[in-house]
Amino acid sequence: MGKRLQDKVAIITGSGSIGPGWGNGKAMSVLFAREGARVVGADIDAEAGAATQKIIDDEGGTGITVVADVARAADVERLVATALDAYGRIDILVNNVGIAVVGGPAELDEATWDRLMSINLKSTYLTCHHVLPVMIRQHAGVIVNNASVAVLGWAGVNYGFYAASKGAMVAMTRTMAIRHAPDGIRANCVLPGLMNTPLVHAALTRVYGEEGDIANLIRTRDAQCPLGHMGDAWDTAHATLFLASDEAKYITATELVVDGGLSARFA
């Protein structure tokens, strides 16, 4: 059986990891390379991006990494141009960049809103803005956006601003999918639930107790999940791989929930 993404060119944003271990973008990048893709990783942190690139290189995969802030138009334009210069086409775009902020309109200020929307939502607009014309010319392409089950209901903490950014991502993805279906382009979202990743460790330990108490965070979040434990970056990566592959060729304008049953409790 051949590799699922053989010779496909995939841009993956947030390809590094914010800390030790496997973040979503790092797992996606390595998994896509293992499945034959030519991975164009993008990360604002040069060292984190290089660490992922080294794994791909050491495993005999193909790819390059671009240091870029995908919330900046000039950086996204350079990212897309680099991918085209290197490989001549773009088959897959994965928007994985995002930050988690706890709080909503009553608790958080305007600057936090602007920062969250810029990183989580504007970055997705910018990459799609520059990649869609390429895919339209090819009459083929797949976009997978990493959203969250926070858009479906209460996810254990007050994710007011975060849920708003991810909800807008879902709405944009659905309308984009319908608009560009005649162009041979599919677009979907992955909705991870409570995940055990370095980003969660960095951003949320104080929400579940004392700052830096990762053990308590894991224990508390595991107990909230119907399966008895959080998911991990590989769960998100495998869902993204499926949606990016030809196995999902008749799937567009929808969301794949990866949450161990958590959102079934929202109803």
Q: Which residues are known to be catalytic?
A: 162
Structure tokens that stand for 62 in this block: 């193909």
φ, ψ at 257 (rounded to 5°): -85, 130
Radius of gyration of the CA atoms of the chain, in A: 18
Burial 193-207 (b: 16+ CB within 10 A, else e): bbbbbbbbbebbbeb
Q: How far apart are CA 66 and CA 172, in angstroms?
A: 26
Contacts of 68 by beta carbon, 8 Å cutoff, 6+ apart: 42, 43, 44, 75, 76, 78, 79
H helices of 118-245, in order, are: 123-138, 160-180, 198-204, 214-224, 233-244
The dihedral sign for the CA sequence 155, 12, 240, 172: positive
